[in-house]
Structure 1
Amino acid sequence: MHLRQLEYFVTVCELESFTKAAERLFITQPSLSQQVKRLESDLKVTLLDRTARTARPTPAGRALLPIAREILAGAARAEQAVRDVRAGQRGDLEVLTVRSLATGILPPGVGLWHEKFPGVVLKINDYPHAEAMEAAFRDGVGDVAIGPRVGLTGTHTVSLGFEELVLIAGPLSGVHTDKALSLAELRDQQWVLFDSANGLTRIIRTLCAASGFEPLATVFTGQVETALELASNGVAVTLIPDNAVRGEHRRCARSLAPPVFREILAYSRPGSRSLSDVFVDIVRRAQPALLTRADLPRAHSLA
């Protein structure tokens, strides 16, 4: 039993004529008769009483007719629902990201998205670090993930731009923050690092190793916000995304020399791209804080 066969059967019942039904359906009368016969064969019953002039439903046909109409109406609603989702008129989109981006990068794009697609609900899941986001996305959570470069494969990937990683050193740290500092000048400083699951520690260790030293950890934390508070209060220095630094903490933030940037990407699943691609494009256009590769300073490091 196919939807097309049910449509043909219902049309014949409504017009009580194979000839008129064929004209409405823009098919030949033999093709219409053949499809109705196949439906009868599948159901092992006669659905229509055929005469030279009319075709009327049998008792079995009358029993099928309202159900067939319900099925066709349900299929039409299903098709419309999918079209509405593709057009951004209904549905939902689940976005995974990291907390610094959820507050520092996404809001302008989310605002524009809501103006353009008020009928689509955004579900934003923010994670403490990129590795947690990556693990959730691998487990099937979310339609699109936005964060630093991770090891996700089999996804559609778009670069949103580059964010700067800045040094946080409070007034009590003893670090002179009136100018940009090189990592080599921080050789003797104590550091706030992140737990092993957080990729920022790997970035800090790699950058410091390139400058010839191992960072001396005095505190480990899993949260960028905690590291920002500790470093701003002079406990130790740290390196965090510039978009995570807000309010009074900005006085403790300095660029390194050369500045350090990391790329922010969007990862979407093949089956979710109809809405994901639109969302990613809106976020990219709405976010002036991220630099393109062409905008990066000549002397810089990429984390």
Structure 2
Amino acid sequence: MATVRQLECFVAVVECGSFTAAAERVLMTQPALSRSIRELERVVGGALLERQPRRAVLTPVGRAVLPAAQAALAEVKRVRELGRRAANLDAGELRVAAVQSLTLAALLPVVREWRRRHSGVELRLTEFASLDRLVEAMRAGAADVAVAPRPEGWTGPLRELGVEEFVVVLPAGEEGPGPGRRLDLRALSNRAWVHYEPANGLSTVVDAACAAAGFAPRVAVRTAQSSAAPASPPPAWVRLSCRQTC
């Protein structure tokens, strides 16, 4: 049986014209969106969309299914609205905890969409410099939901949102290893680094990555703010983080 999420993904691709734009709209990674479409195609018994160089177009099966999918989503929206009005869930407060490194890139676009959909619900956001402090706050009941890397030993409810990709930033005008190629951190062992203050959880990430490459970073500047690191001005520097599940 088709799920509401699968129908939402299908309709989003049709209305946005591409998988990339649809993934941004439904707040999913593109691989997850593609999997959802494939699962729906298995349910209906045929391909719904054809990928072309710059867009996705409906197949004959997709054209036949689209009106029913749109009607189903409209009915689901009506059910939600009726239920929320009856339960008085269009007012109140939602407390969100987040690590600082995720706020600008990942969370703020979601907050804007949340406010558009739930204007009567007050959203209270608290940022934490490290994952440990965020976990302590969650255990103490300081927030209703948290957005952060997966904490070790967490036994409460958890939903994987996607994978955050971090990068190494080189000085302006300096060439990197090239598109699609990985940078060997050992080549940066003699560089002066823009690093994070120990209180920032990314400090541990940088130290662990460098240690795995066989060296400790030589620090030129330390900052407590994740957004400040790329703007710091030592003569030769790099910034490093890692790939992590959120």
Q: Mark yes or no: TM-score above 0.5.
A: yes
Residue 124, structure 1, aligned to residue 125, structure 2 = yes
Matched to 2:166, the amino acid is L
For residue 263 of structure 1, what is the aligned residue in structure 2? 245
* Partner residue of 1:205 out of 198, 204, 207: 207
Deviations 1:3-49 (A, max 9, x none): xxxxxxxxxxxxxxxxxxxxxxxxxxxxxxxxxxxxxxxxxxxxxxx
Matched to 2:159, the amino acid is V
CA contact (8 A) 1:131 1:198 kept: no
Deviations 1:108-156 (A, max 9, x none): 3223322332221111112334333233323321111101223463421
How far apart, in 1, do the equivalents of 2:235 and 2:87 lie?
Answer: 51
How far apart, in 1, do the equivalents of 2:196 and 2:97 lie?
Answer: 21
| 1:82-231 equivalent positions in 2, closer than 5 A | 88-151=89-152, 153-171=154-172, 175-177=174-176, 179=178, 180=181, 181-230=183-232
How far apart, in 2, do the equivalents of 1:167 and 1:98 lie?
Answer: 20
How far apart, in 1, do the equivalents of 2:207 and 2:245 lie?
Answer: 18
How far apart, in 2, do the equivalents of 1:135 and 1:162 lie?
Answer: 23
Give the match's secondary structure for 2:160.
strand
How far 1:96 sits from its partner (Å)?
0.7
RMSD of equivalent CA atoms: 2.8
Matched to 2:205, the amino acid is I
How far 1:84 sits from its partner (Å)?
5.5
Change (3 A) 1:86 1:107: farther
How far 1:214 sits from its partner (Å)?
2.1
Give the match's secondary structure for 1:168.
coil
How far apart, in 2, do the equivalents of 1:204 and 1:221 lie?
Answer: 13
CA contact (8 A) 1:95 1:142 kept: yes
Instruction: Using structure 2 for the length normalisation, give the TM-score.
Output: 0.56
How far 1:85 sits from its partner (Å)?
9.1
Instruction: Using structure 1 for the length normalisation, give the TM-score.
Output: 0.46
Change (3 A) 1:86 1:164: farther
Matched to 2:192, the amino acid is Q
Change (3 A) 1:183 1:97: same
How far apart, in 1, do the equivalents of 2:188 and 2:231 lie?
Answer: 19
How far 1:208 sits from its partner (Å)?
1.8
Unaligned runs of 5+ in 1: 1-82, 241-259, 265-303
Change (3 A) 1:200 1:94: same
How far 1:194 sits from its partner (Å)?
1.9
Change (3 A) 1:89 1:204: same
Change (3 A) 1:121 1:209: same
How far apart, in 1, do the equivalents of 2:87 and 2:100 lie?
Answer: 28
How far apart, in 2, do the equivalents of 1:191 and 1:85 lie?
Answer: 56
Matched to 1:146, the amino acid is V
Change (3 A) 1:138 1:234: farther
Structure exhibiting the larger radius of gyration computed from Cα positions: 1
How far 1:233 sits from its partner (Å)?
5.3
Q: Relative contact order, CA 8 A, sep 6+: which one is greater?
A: 1
Deviations 1:60-100 (A, max 9, x none): xxxxxxxxxxxxxxxxxxxxxxx769663221100011233
Change (3 A) 1:85 1:186: farther
Unaligned runs of 5+ in 2: 1-83
How far apart, in 2, do the equivalents of 1:158 and 1:117 lie?
Answer: 21
CA contact (8 A) 1:194 1:200 kept: yes
